[in-house]
A and B are shown apart, each in its own frame.
Chain A
Amino acid sequence: MPKAVETRDLTRAFGDFIAVDHVSLEVDHGEIFGFLGPNGAGKTTMIRMLCGLLKPTSGSGMVNGFDIANQAEEIKRTIGYMSQRFSLYGDLTGEQNLKFYGTVYGLNSRQLRARIDELTDQLDLGVFIDRITGSLPVGWRQRLALAAAIIHRPAIVFLDEPTAGVDPGYRRTFWELLYRLADQGTTLFVTTHYMDEAEFCRRVCIMHQGKPIATGPPHELVDAHGEKNLEATFIKLITQGATGTG
């Protein structure tokens, strides 16, 4: 069985700037994989390539056994994507948004009704599903965006900074939802720069200037570098700009 995500020397350049520089990594099915790094480390570019939104400059990558170079449309059927920006229509209600994305993913109206009810229950959307999403607090919007990203039961969900701008108490709730999702067998590929969140991941990859500088389970990285937590490890690695794997 192919890995959920597998890349070999994946590279993307924008002119002279190399956003993602020879990244090779593997993500197993059903794991929560954390993709960490400071702003500009190439996290969003990486996710966009894996989702078939950007063509790689060189190197290769497979998502769910499909090649990102020429099977982007097949990949899109099996993945969910929650981008850094709020990507629901702010002038539609939550339900209208979910119906729109559900239909685009090919759900018929009966499946859609059942799935929306299920998600309403699972993500606790009840109170705000009928409201215009633009007027909702950020935390609720994120929950709706997650619902839209998983409406078609994708095998992998890519989440790009899903909790940016969300208050800490709410971030915890959101991660509990992600845990539940992973328990059901969904692979989660999450970028974040909150190190406390990264500790929830089974494995993490720390990126610096487009290159992966450490990959492994969070506690192993911490131990290998003799630090007290992931945050300290991360700072040490970034300031050294060192390469190495944990």
Chain B
Amino acid sequence: MAEPILEVSGLVKHYPLTRGILFKKQIGAVRAVDGVDFDLARGETLGIVGESGCGKSTVAKMLVNLERPTAGSIRYQGEDITKLSGRALKTVRRNIQMVFQDPYTSLNPRMTVGDIIGEPYDIHPEAAPKGDRRRRVQDLLDVVGLNPEYVNRYPHQFSGGQRQRIGIARGLALRPEVIVADEPVSALDVSVQAQVINLMERLQDEFDLSYIFIAHDLSIVRHISDRVGVMYLGRIVEIGRDAEIYDHPTHPYTQALLSAVPVPDPEAREHRERIILAGDVPSPANPPSGCRFRTRCWKARERCELEMPPLAVPAVFAAGPAAHDSACHFAEAKQVVPAETAENAGTAENAGTAENAGTAE
């Protein structure tokens, strides 16, 4: 694997729960993120999936420094960015940018498109000489597939997909190396999602970007990611290359998640095994002891209650196609995604074995 551009270790974010009108007293904490580690290689796409409340968006916010971690570090090219402030922080921000979920609220309705995409240059005047900015903004519009003459329009004059392109253009303005995309297509119509996904893949090649792609849609994450991390209640429970996660999941939660995704193939519904989880996700203010998934897990035993399973390659899978990190005491490979027809299965295999399959295409 190429050298990591981003190294996240022991990342924790607790939001204090307080009571009181004038003088606030802490009565507990919401453990939104509770010990997350991963690396991101240059040119790679790391997908992070999980259900609402699992902490994936909080991770995204910490990566772009919108939230300060309670503990842990985020190293960008070896430097811990969580402790930075002032000028040094501003420099780092140029290199890690974010694309937001909701194209309707992420663009200031009272700014023209030209001002929105050009704002990065106002904040970082050294990035582009003043006379050059307008041309750059128009170039960016062109790059994301919008008419460069639209600079004087306002966001509401565009459709959702077009707005998301504007958001992407803003994210690209400073030529960042890492883009954190938090559910970038989930607010869009199906036919427009594909346009935006294709655009993001093309831009990755064109600008040599590394992506952190956060989503709840496992199909989209598989499509775009080289590696995938699965989050549950503030922790990563399983992480590995996309074929390892989708074809050889070893954590029960991943298996349940994958088996619950509807596959657009009515033939599959009869002979597909569904793992239907009981109950709801526990509150992050009061997570279960030991393994956090144990309250909904059909394999849970006493050990799961007492001992938190580490995120590591389970000994039973030390070699073989399922060798990837999985935080389960009783990890067990199980194929839950139906095998496809011969040709498609072949493609999946290739994608899994070839190094950097995602970027080589």
Instruction: Tell me whether A and B are bound partners.
Output: no
